[in-house]
Amino acid sequence: PEHAAGHAGIQAFVAALREADGVIIGSPGYHGTLSGLVKNALDHVELLRRDDRVYFDGMPVGIVATAAGWQAAVATMATLRTVAHALRGWPTPVGVAINTAEEGALDRADGQLRLMVEQMLGFVGR
Provide the pairing of β-strand 96-99 with 23-30.
Answer: unpaired
| 29 close to 67: Cβ distance less than 8 angstroms | yes
| 29 close to 73: Cβ distance less than 8 angstroms | yes
Residue 2: predicted pLDDT: 63
> What does the radius of gyration of the chain's CA atoms come to, in whole angstroms?
15
- How many domains does the structure of the chain reveal? 1
User: pLDDT tens track of the chain, all 126 residues?
Assistant: 566 668 899 999 999 999 999 999 999 999 989 999 999 999 999 999 999 999 999 999 999 999 999 999 999 999 999 999 999 999 999 999 999 999 999 999 999 999 999 999 999 876
Domain membership of residue 73 as a residue range: 2-124
CATH code at position 25: 3.40.50.360
| 112 close to 9: Cβ distance less than 8 angstroms | no
d(CA 93, CA 60): 10
